[in-house]
Structure 1
Amino acid sequence: MILNSNSIKPIYLQIADWLEAEILAYRIIEDERIYSQYQLAGMFNINPATAAKGLNILADKKVIYKKRGLGMFVAPSAREIILKSRKDQVLGEILRELIRETERLGIPEEQLIEMIREAKKNKGEED
């Protein structure tokens, strides 16, 4: 992964997102030791404090935990925490915007549900 220093998303959030993606893809598994702030700093050529901030976000969300003297490890429930968080945040925002737009366009709920079913059906045909 290459961090985007031109992004409006802060580097420490990009670090946290990258680590979450690695966990979701099973490249880092439960109870496995993850990169230290210094390893991340070296990998991405960033300040160790920035890397630590990204790790702290994951620790605050209980995605990772610290073993004193050994480093940070992936929590046993990390994948479930990440999936729930992404569902609540990402899909929640998409749905809120979709509902606002359908209300502006005067689309009734039943028609929206049918549009979603049709889009899902068509997506399956494209795969």
Structure 2
Amino acid sequence: MNSSFDDKKPIFMQIKERIEDQIVNGQLKEHDQIPSTTQLVSFYKINHLTVSKGINLLLDAEIIYKKRGVGMFVAEHAKELLLEQRKQLFASEYVQPMLEEAGKLGISTQEMIMLIEQYKGSDPE
């Protein structure tokens, strides 16, 4: 885990996103225990309330669940839920603005596909 933070986003959101990243990339799987709040506070050297706020967002979104007296664990289907959320976010933050700009520039759908393939480095299928 990287212990530095970006100044552009609240730390509690970055804590939440780092745990989400570990779930998405398979470091944390369904029913795996996530690091405790105390462990995260110690590792990142940040306030307990900051960590708790990030963790609570994950609990509220049902990405993780709590076993009283034991700890917090990755919920079933958390990875699939996160992937779906991220795909929707990707579409709204990147694809929609890209399509709007392409429309202004008169770039056709076929030209867009060719550009994507060119930048991705893949051959057309």
Q: Give the corresponding residue for 2:37.
A: 37
Structure 1, unpaired ranges of 5+:
none
Q: Give the corresponding residue for 1:46.
A: 46
Could you tell me the percent identity over the aligned residues?
34
Deviations 1:51-91 (A, max 9, x none): 11111111111110111111110011110111011111133
Q: Give the corresponding residue for 1:82.
A: 82
TM-score (structure 2 length as normaliser): 0.86
* Distance of 1:124 and 1:102 partners within structure 2: 20
CA contact (8 A) 1:3 1:11 kept: no
Kindly tell me the number of residue pairs found equivalent between the two proteins: 121
Q: Give the corresponding residue for 2:63.
A: 63
Deviations 1:69-122 (A, max 9, x none): 1111001111011101111113321122113322333x26xx1x2133213432
Assess, with a 3 A threshold, how the Cα gap between structure 1 residues 31 and 41 changes in structure 2: closer, same or farther. Answer: same
How far off its partner does 1:37 sit?
Answer: 1.2
The list of structure 1 runs, each at least 4 consecutive aligned residues, that deviate by more than 3 angstroms after superposition, is none
CA contact (8 A) 2:3 2:43 kept: no
How far off its partner does 1:125 sit?
Answer: 3.8
Corresponding position: 1:124 with 2:104? no
TM-score (structure 1 length as normaliser): 0.85
CA contact (8 A) 1:59 1:65 kept: yes
- What are the residue-to-residue correspondences of 1:12-27 with 2, within 5 Å? 12-27=12-27
> How much is the aligned-residue C-alpha RMSD, in angstroms?
1.8
* Distance of 1:16 and 1:48 partners within structure 2: 14
